[in-house]
Copies of this chain bind each other. A is one copy, B any other.
Amino acid sequence: MKQSDKYAEILKKGDLRATKQRYAILEVLDCNGAPVSAEDLYIQLKRKGIPISLSTVYRILDAFQEKGIVVRSNFPDVSKAVYELFCEEHHHHLLCVDCRRVFPVEGCPLEDYERLIEERLNFTVKGHNLEVYGHCKDCKKKT
Contacts and interface: CB of A to CB of B under 8 A. Distances in A.
Nearest to A130: B130
B132 A125 contact: yes
A117 B96 CA distance: 13
Given A117-B94, A131-B128, A123 B136 contact: yes
A97 B128 CA distance: 12
Contact of A134 (B76, B109, B112, B126): B126
Interface of A: 72-76, 94, 96-97, 103, 105, 109-110, 112-114, 117, 121-137, 140
B121 A140 contact: no
Count of chain copies: 2
A128 to B, nearest CB: 4
B125 A137 contact: no
Contact of A123 (B110, B126, B130, B137): B137
A28 B44 CA distance: 45
A143 to B, nearest CB: 10
A140 B128 contact: no
Contact of A124 (B126, B131, B134): B134
